[in-house]
Structure 1
């Protein structure tokens, strides 16, 4: 529950300021690693959590470096990379592909709605953090709660 509340708070901050503060994202990475390393309730083993944090950051860093090489400007903020690293540290490396897929599809739809709402064109930036947070919440809840809610009425 605490993870979901932090993700919602980060989404709010990103929507308002286009920033994901290190003072929240970096401890979130560490708490995820500690949770999976020391808690009996862990989501993944500590090795998967370490790889999730590393790959979560590295994937978005690499995509941004490639975009910067081609377009001579940043395409994604490193706060988003730290948020993905945090989600990787909590949920493990194996959820990163589906997490990015969910966030990307939600980002396309939500980004178009956001830009229309703000009366901007598609060349304007919009915050990606809320979509990463949304995908993280889906990935967190899917195995435990969502199937029970969907299939619970069938039994």
Structure 2
């Protein structure tokens, strides 16, 4: 979780997600889920999650590049989503993308207000992927311990 917060900070400040952090996160996620009794998902789901995480962003960016002749999202974001898929499994990717996109829209509106409505300016998506990954990681613990007791 600290690595995600650090990556969010780096991306927010520099618009970069360093390979020196994202690549090890991918491999550590697969290795953790393959070797640990505390695994978060099955090893096969981790491998598929890493591949689908990267591929989904790559496909989106390729489509955008075909339409606009420029990149729409960085491949650092693809590697971060691959890392999240490696740690949490392929089944979490749709909800991670939904949460990241929703929070990214809100963040984008705030960013536009803060930066003076410059629509062509780059916007970091990594922090929102990191937030979504943290939410997805903590959500199973939040429901039974914090939310359900207050509803009952």
Length-normalised TM-score, structure 1? 0.94
Of the three residues 84, 88, 93, the one matched with 1:87 is: 84
The farther-off stretch of 107-116 and 8-17 is 107-116
| Structure 1 position 116, deviation (Å) | 1.5
| 1:121 aligned residue | 118
The farther-off stretch of 60-69 and 121-130 is 121-130
Of the three residues 74, 94, 98, the one matched with 1:97 is: 94
1:54 counterpart = 2:51: yes
Say how many residue pairs are matched.
Answer: 152
Length-normalised TM-score, structure 2? 0.96
Cα deviation, 1:81-133, whole Å, max 9, x if unaligned, reads 00000000000001101110110011001111122222242332210000000
1:107 counterpart = 2:92: no
Change (3 A) 1:33 1:15: same
| 1:11 aligned residue | 8
Which runs of structure 2 are paired with 1:19-98 in the superposition (5 Å)?
A: 19-98=16-95
Contact 1:100–1:135 (CA under 8 A) maintained in structure 2: yes
| Structure 1 position 154, deviation (Å) | 4.7
What RMSD over aligned residues (CA atoms) do the two structures have, in Å?
1.1
SS of the equivalent of 2:78 reads helix
Structure 1: 5+ residue stretches without partners: none
Which runs of structure 2 are paired with 1:129-144 in the superposition (5 Å)?
A: 129-144=126-141
The farther-off stretch of 139-148 and 126-135 is 139-148
SS of the equivalent of 2:140 reads coil
Cα deviation, 1:24-72, whole Å, max 9, x if unaligned, reads 0000001100110000000001000000000000000011011001100
